[in-house]
Structure formats: C-alpha cells, structure tokens
Amino acid sequence: MNLYHPESDFKETTEEKTKKNGFLNELPRAVSRPNTYVLLDGEWNFSHDPEDRGLRDRWYLGHTYDHKAQWPGSVENHLIEAKGLQPNTQTWNDKVVVWYEREFVLPKREEPLYCCLFQLTFGACGYETTVWLNGHLLKTIEGEEVHYGEYTSFSYELQEDMLSPVNRLTVRIADTMDADIPRGKQESHVYKRGGIWYQTYSGAVRSVWLETVERNRLRSRFGVVSIVEDQLVRFHLTTRIHDPGHYTLRLSVYERGQETGMPVATSDYQLLLEAGQKNQRVVVEVPGAKLWSPEEPNLYRLEAGLIASDGHISQIEAHFGLRKIEARGRFVYLNNSKIYLDGILYQPGTATYEEMKKHMYAMKELGCNLVRVHIAGVDPRIYNLADEIGMLLWVEVPSPHSSTKISRQNHWAELQRMLALMETHPSVIIWSLYNEDWGIQDIATNPDTRQYIIDTYHYMHINHPQFLVVDNDGWQHISLEGKLKSDLLTAHIYTPDFDRWRELLGRLAEGHMEGVAVLPLVIGDPFFYRKQVPLLVSEWGGFGFADYGGPSDSEDRTEKIRQFKRELRKHPIAGDIYTQATNIEDERNGLLDPHSGELSVPPGLLNTRNDSTD
C-alpha cells in the first residue's frame, strides 16, 4: 500500500504549470484550484460482501480484508482478480456490494487551521457510495450520507476532530441491475448484455484525492453563457461559506497562455454571504473578444477569487470560450454562421483517459467537427480537450431502462449533477434527454412521461440557453400544440441498401413523419415540418455490425461511407452522425482502434463541410 510519510507535504500543483493554461490538471475535473493535494489512488484493501453483512457487522469499525485492488478500477475487474476468473466474466447478476479501505498519513500543511480545511473528493464512484473516516460516517457537502450516481464527482469536508496523524478511509459501494437508475448502455433487468447492451462497469472508476480548501471559497464549478453580439459573458459561480460576512468576488479574464500583464477584463462584485452554499450569476464584458469555433478554438482563462474582509482569497481557474449556437429554420448556426455537423457516435466504454485522448484526436483526423458522446459519463478533462482542439460535443444523460416516476426522479438528479460540472465548455453544444425511448418506453401513451420531458426541455431553455436540446433522439419527438419540444428533428436510419438510403433521406427532407425511422418521428399533437427545424440523421451506418449489415472489409466500408455521405449532402439536412468511432464488445463497426486510436479508414473520410449543396 502506498503510504505518505508524515513529514511529506502535499504535491504542489503550482509547480507543474503548462505553457498554455496555467495549471497542469492531472485531476479528473474541469476547473483547477491552485492549492495542494495528494492522490489516494493505488493499492487499497478489498472485500466482496455477497450477503450484504458489512453494515450490520460494522466493517467500518474494523474488518479483515481478503484481497487488494487498484483504485481507480471497476468493481467487475476487482471481482475477477479476487476470484481468479477469466477476463470479461460476468461477476454479478442482481446486486453487488464491495468494500475498500486504505490508510493515509495526514500531510503537513502551511495554511493556518482557521482559514483552511481538508476536503476529500471522489472523481466518480457508485452507483451508491458510503464513506467513513476512522469509523465516522461522512456526509457530502450536499448533506448526503449515501451518494447516488456514478458519473460525476462529489466531495466531503473533513472535520478536524475526526483526523489523526494516520487515518483509515473506508468505502462501501453498492450497485444493482435496477432499471430505474441511470445506466446508459450497461445491462439491467430490462436490457441484457449482448448486441448493443454492454457489461456493467461500476464502482471506483475515477481518482480520489485529498486537498486543502479554504473555509470560505468558490467551489470548483462554474457555468458560462455568452452573448456574442454584446460581448458579455454571464458567469454562474457557487460559493461555499462557513463564516458569514462581506466578501468580494473578483473575476479576471486573460488571454489563453497569458501568465503576466493586465487582464483583458476584470471586475469586482460585493457580496453579503450567509453560511452555506449559494449560486450567483455575474456579468463581465470582454471587449474585442475572439469567438470560439472548431476552426478557431479561441479560449480565455478565468481567474475567479473570493476575497474575505481580512484579505484572504480563495481562487479557482478555468478556461472558457465565447460562442453562440442556434437552430434557425433548416440549419444549425454557430456564431451566426451556418454550420454542417459532420459527426460520429462515440461510446468510450471502459477506455482510459489516455485512450480517450487518442480517440478525440483520431476523430478530428477523420474529419469530424462533432462527437456525440453516447449516454455515458466521461473524464471531465476530455471536455477540456475538446475545447482546446475545436471539437463540438453532443452529450447525453445516461438513461434509465424503465419508465416510472422513480426513474424520472433519478434522471432529473443525474441531469442536475452533470450540468453542475459541465456548464463551462464552449465545445458542448447539444444535450439529449433520452435516446430511442430508453427509459421512456411509454412516451406515446403516458401523459406523465411526456410532461416530464416537456418540463425538462423548458427548464433547459430557461436556465441553460447556451445549449440546443433534443427531447428523445432518434424518433418519437414530442409535439405540443404543434410546437416541437426539441430543437432538432433527429432520425436514426440504418440500412446497408443504397437505394433504400436515398429513398429514406428523400422522405425525411420532404417532412414525412412516418416511414422514415423505426417509429414515427413525432408523437402528440400534429406537427407540420415546413422547414421550420433542422433535420439531422443522428445515427446511420453501423457498417461491420452484423445486425445492421453492410461491409466489414475496410476498403469496401470506406467506399460505402463515401457513397452514403455524398447522398446525405444532396438533401437539406443539417448534419449526420456516423455510427461509430470504435468497436465495443459485440459492436464491430468502429473506424479507429480502441487502444491506439489508429484509423482503419482514410483520414478526412467524414469531412463533407466543403460539399455544400445549397
């Protein structure tokens, strides 16, 4: 086990600055904090709890662990290693409970106790995570004794009276095949592994770290809404206060890579803050701002500081870009210019962060300007990378697999967790609420299901206007009083037959709502297309995947893709998403190697943005 020496200090992030954007961000988060931290990754003690006895027997007070496990890693792999099973063996069927434990030496810190405290953060873990420190149950900053969710980070503030020179950290993780929880394409009681459904991949999937944070601070999250016409940037920040009083919020905007000199813009805001957490929106004018786009991914660096009356400052840092995305008539506009979306479906599966980086560069090399991250959560640094290299992103809430009141509550909670940590990025332009009716199978017959989606669509428009929103991608979009509750009218069209492909694209472009995809494109009240919304073929191809037909040979597949893409551009369609980037389990339709990122087709194959037909 990797223990830290008592005399050792935290790792100084400020010693590892990059030339581009200030702080080297080795932690799985999008926003940096110029503080001190130590990773708790590495070897942990590990035990399977098949009878779920650990809580009753109070393992958090002391337990003899049977095995070791490397954190981060999945419950599934840890069980395979512990039981000596073959790779890819199914390790659990209904419910799994596992426990992890390690010790860590409390590092020395230079900051005085009255202004700073220790914070423990899990980059992602779940689906249910419970944590004890030296036998004391911890509550998240949001007050949860059990944290639910497995795609986003959560934190604990550690009380001084709980800490010792050497500390014992105990973690219980539980997951089930419950179809009411957000699962994405991981198997459940409803959808079993095989075909397009994958093995579960849960548990300790991202890093965990200990850091010092100020008692009164800005949390490591903020949102950005820019209005390109007035060069105003609306920042949404979150304060965390233990000592009520008067504070100054100071925002400074710098050119990306600028380490010294005057900021491009700066502004102070006087705040009277009570104890607890509070969201606050402020506006900064950035005169002469350069806009962000895939061709010119211009980014700015924000330093945001919360200054106490005694002058002590809490600071966070991140980059952002000014951009505007709109759906106008038949087309999508970026920064008031029409753009065609040459996209690809991306399912990262069990890929590591380093592999996902290779995938992003490879998809750029393919000629894509958009990646649809398919109902999955990824390392937040990937969103930063997309910002840097100029890749548009379409993100999605991992869906539950059943349509119930509880599944809708879980879906809403997952959406809120993701939004809180993903509002920063100019690359993220589209959000899908659902995909192909997964988790909303009764959308055509249940008014409660449709009303939830309608309400969520309106919520996104009011609170997150920087995104386009798709209600249910693929088919069965909702119409209320003839108004589509989706910014894009999307269709999933799979056929290896070119004549059928041409026919279906023609029907789509003419505004036919039936006979295009598997199910009607629109449900609810009558909807008359009349060129009032952009059309996207948001999934097509699948060549090489046995159930979809088409060629598996690389040369034949290349020619087929070219042929199908040429036909796409002959129609008034705003974009398309080829399925898909990499092979994953039974789906053998990828265009790049899942480990190396090497392309199996020619570079630029999916780039048709110069093939304008208007």
Q: Find where tokens 């700073």 sit.
A: 116
Other beta carbons less than 10 A from residue 238's beta carbon: 17
Which DSSP letter does residue 513 get?
-
70 and 152 Cβ atoms separated by less than 8 Å: no
Q: pLDDT tens across 296-322, in order?
A: 999 999 999 999 999 999 999 999 999
Strands ordered across the beta sheet of 325-328: 325-328, 331-334, 337-339
Residues near 5 by Cβ (< 8 Å), separated by ≥ 6?
105
Q: What is the mean pLDDT of residues 369-382?
A: 95
> Do residues 30 and 378 touch, judged by C-beta distance below 8 A?
no
pLDDT band per the 50, 70, 90 thresholds, residue 548: confident
pLDDT at 19 over 60: no
Specify the pLDDT at position 220: 92
Cβ burial, residue 537 (10 Å; 0-12/13-18/19+): buried
- pLDDT confidence band for 11 (50 / 70 / 90): very low
pLDDT at 612: 58
- Whether the predicted pLDDT of 6 surpasses 60: no
End-to-end CA distance of the chain: 63
Rounded to 5°, angle at Cα 594 from 498 and 375: 75
Contacting residues for 192 by C-beta, under 8 A, at least 6 apart: none
How many other C-beta atoms can be found within 10 angstroms of the C-beta atom of residue 113? 9
For residue 98, give the 3-state DSSP assignment.
Answer: strand
Helix (H) or strand (E) holding 505: helix 498-509
pLDDT at 258: 77
Would you say 34 and 13 are in contact if contact means Cβ atoms under 8 Å apart? yes
Question: For the residues 238-242, what does the mean pLDDT come to?
Answer: 97
Tokens of 523: 């449900």
Tokens 């996104």 sit on residue: 460
At residue 381, what is the residue type? R
d(CA 101, CA 92): 21
Output helix, strand, coil percentages for the chain, rounded to the nearest 5.
15, 35, 45
Q: Is the peptide bond before 580 cis (omega within 30 degrees of 0)?
A: yes
Please list the alpha-helical segments (H only) found in 44-202: 75-83
Q: Please tell me which residue, 4 or 372, carries the higher pLDDT value.
A: 372
Beta-bridged to residue 394, according to DSSP, are 372, 430
263 pLDDT band, cuts 50/70/90, is very high
pLDDT at 261: 82
Q: Structure tokens of 436?
A: 């192909």
* pLDDT tens-digit readout, 459-517: 999 999 999 999 999 999 999 999 999 999 999 999 999 999 999 999 999 999 999 99
Q: Is residue 114 very low, low, confident or very high in pLDDT (cuts 50, 70, 90)?
A: low
- pLDDT, residue 260, reads 76
Look up residue 343 and give its amino acid: G
180-232 residue pLDDT tens: 999 999 999 999 998 899 989 999 999 999 999 999 999 998 899 988 898 89
| Mean pLDDT taken over the chain | 92
Alpha carbon distance 301, 289 (integer Å): 12
Q: Has residue 355 got a pLDDT over 80?
A: yes
